[in-house]
């Protein structure tokens, strides 16, 4: 670490993990609302896709002037490539924010054991105070073996100090009981299971030691990380007005676009299209003719929130092969121009 960040001592850090669409970003947004006014909090957010959107969604209503500092690590599990992307982003974030607390959100397809191992490295011993790992779970997913048979889904539960049964307003007592039994079987019945709606986690749950032994045994970590681009978020957008990039791994595909700030999208057409997207997960921020909006699509619904600002429009879609997403061009929704009229065809 550089000399500036090396002066930072014992920053409380929590991993906020959970599978796709469980509401991690919403939960972090809720936690940030409870940040003491005189404290600086940092958020390191990791996304499977190459186009980082979570940072824009969080920054849209939380700025550094309010003591909230956000850094993204897009492009797959951030502990890959010997953890280099994570180390660079973490060191830069610590140096800039000098935070009183650090929240880390791995991608829903990430490997929290390996992330925790990176945080436990010798050069972070005096810098980070690793506290409770919070795992969010949608109890309804335990009825689907695509989840219960997925190694990452189970690893996220097994690493938990607290399991949050999120979206409890969408299921009943039986699903709650199933989750409690599943946690007891995967870990033990001493692990608390707390049910909340809309990610409203009590901040008091963050404090306390992480139960997982620092010296973590190496786990299998095999997944492809095929990408059309490296550092796509740092590239200048070309004259055509967009960048498009794909990624794949853990049985999923992703496609994302960045658009030049001059592009303005038709709000009504955009919402109609987003509402019908066939995908496992979608996150986006768009500059529209009605203002700036953030979008979050899960298996339950599409949510839309008004944002104060964003530097550019961007979208990331996670899907299984065969989805109609593969052939769609969002520029068709550009206000007054459209891909068909302009001849653009990403």
Would you say 295 and 283 are in contact if contact means Cβ atoms under 8 Å apart?
Answer: yes
Q: Is the pLDDT of residue 213 over 80?
A: no
Instruction: Write down the pLDDT at residue 81.
Output: 43
- pLDDT (average), residues 76-105: 79
Tell me how long the chain is: 346
Residue 215: predicted pLDDT: 39
Q: Which residue has the higher pLDDT, 199 or 72?
A: 199
Structure-block tokens of residue 252: 């999923």
Q: For 78-97, what is the mean pLDDT? A: 75
| pLDDT value, residue 5 | 42
Given a cut of 80, is residue 106 above it in pLDDT? yes
| Percent of the chain with pLDDT strictly greater than 90 | 37
For residues 122-146, one letter each, b for 16 or more C-beta atoms within 10 angstroms of the residue's C-beta and e for the rest, the string is: eebeebbbbbbbbbbbbbbbbeeee
Mean pLDDT confidence for 197-209: 95
Q: pLDDT-based confidence at 277, cuts 50/70/90? A: confident
Please, which pLDDT band fits residue 57 given cuts at 50, 70 and 90? low
pLDDT value of residue 108: 79
Residue 27 has pLDDT above 90, yes or no: yes
> Coil, strand, or helix at residue 264?
coil
Q: How far is CA 225 from the centre of its chain?
A: 17
Taking all residues of the chain, what is their mean pLDDT, rounded to a whole number?
Answer: 80
Q: Which of 112, 44, 53, 42 is nearest to 77 (CA)?
A: 112
On the CB side of 278, CA atoms within 13 Å amount to: 9
Confidence bin at 232 (pLDDT 50/70/90): low
Kindly tell me if the per-residue pLDDT of 340 is higher than 50: no
* SS3 assignment, position 110: coil
Predicted pLDDT at 21: 84
217 token code pair: 């045994």
The one-character DSSP state at 131 is B
**C-alpha closest to that of 279 among 253, 251, 247, 308:** 253
What is the pLDDT averaged over residues 213-239?
50
**pLDDT tier at 217, thresholds 50, 70, 90:** very low
In a 13 Å sphere around the CA of 190, the CA atoms on its Cβ side amount to 2
Top-confidence residue, 337 or 243 = 243
What CA–CA distance (Å, rounded) separates 318 from 263?
23
Among 1-15, 165-179, 188-202, the minimum mean pLDDT is found in 1-15
Tokens of 207: 């404090």
Residue 197 has pLDDT above 50, yes or no: yes
Q: Which tokens hold the place of 297? A: 């699509």
pLDDT at 264: 92
Helices 151-158 and 112-119: crossing angle, nearest 10°? 50
DSSP string, 2-27: -HHHHT---EEEEEEEESTTS-HHHH
Confirm if 130 and 226 have CB atoms less than 8 A apart.
Answer: no
The residue ranking higher by pLDDT, 88 or 345, is 88
100 pLDDT above the threshold of 70: yes
Both structure tokens of 55: 């940072």
Instruction: For residue 129, list its beta bridge partners.
Output: 12
Mean pLDDT of 226-252: 67
Tell me the two tokens of residue 330. 């969002």
Q: What is the pLDDT of residue 230?
A: 43
**Residue 52 buriedness (CB in 10 A; 0-12 / 13-18 / 19+):** buried
Specify the pLDDT at position 266. 92
Classify residue 209 by its DSSP letter.
B
pLDDT at site 164? 98
């Amino acid at each position: 670490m550089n000399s500036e960040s090396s002066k930072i001592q014992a920053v409380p850090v929590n991993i906020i993990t959970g599978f796709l669409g469980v509401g991690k970003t919403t939960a972090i947004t809720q936690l940030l609302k409870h940040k003491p006014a005189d404290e600086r909090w940092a958020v390191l957010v990791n996304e499977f896709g190459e186009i980082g959107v979570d940072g824009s969604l969080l920054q849209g209503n939380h700025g550094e002037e309010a003591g909230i500092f956000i850094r993204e690590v897009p492009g797959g599990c951030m502990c890959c490539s010997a953890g280099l992307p994570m180390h660079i982003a973490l060191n830069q974030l610590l140096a800039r924010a000098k935070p009183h607390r650090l929240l880390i959100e791995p991608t829903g397809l990430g490997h929290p054991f390996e992330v925790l191992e990176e945080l436990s490295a010798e050069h972070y011993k005096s810098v980070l105070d690793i506290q409770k790992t919070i795992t969010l779970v949608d109890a309804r997913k335990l009825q689907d073996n695509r989840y219960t048979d997925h190694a990452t889904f189970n690893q996220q539960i097994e690493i938990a100090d607290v399991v949050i049964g999120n979206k409890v307003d969408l299921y009943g007592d039986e699903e709650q009981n199933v989750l409690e039994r599943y946690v007891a079987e995967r870990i033990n019945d001493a692990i608390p299971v707390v049910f909340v709606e809309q990610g409203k986690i009590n901040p008091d749950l963050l404090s306390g030691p992480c139960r997982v032994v620092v010296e973590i045994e190496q786990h299998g970590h095999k997944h492809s990380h095929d990408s059309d681009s490296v550092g796509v978020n740092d590239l200048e957008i070309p004259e055509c007005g967009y960048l498009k990039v794909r990624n794949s791994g853990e049985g999923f595909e992703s496609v994302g676009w960045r658009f030049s700030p001059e592009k303005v999208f038709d709000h009504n057409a955009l919402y109609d299209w987003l509402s019908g997207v066939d995908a496992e997960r979608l996150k986006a921020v768009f500059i529209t003719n009605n203002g700036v909006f953030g979008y979050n699509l899960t298996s339950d619904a599409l949510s839309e929130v008004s944002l104060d600002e964003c530097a550019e429009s961007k979208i990331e879609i996670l899907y299984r092969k065969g989805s109609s997403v593969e052939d769609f061009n969002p520029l068709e929704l550009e206000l007054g121009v459209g891909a068909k009229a302009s001849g653009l065809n990403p």
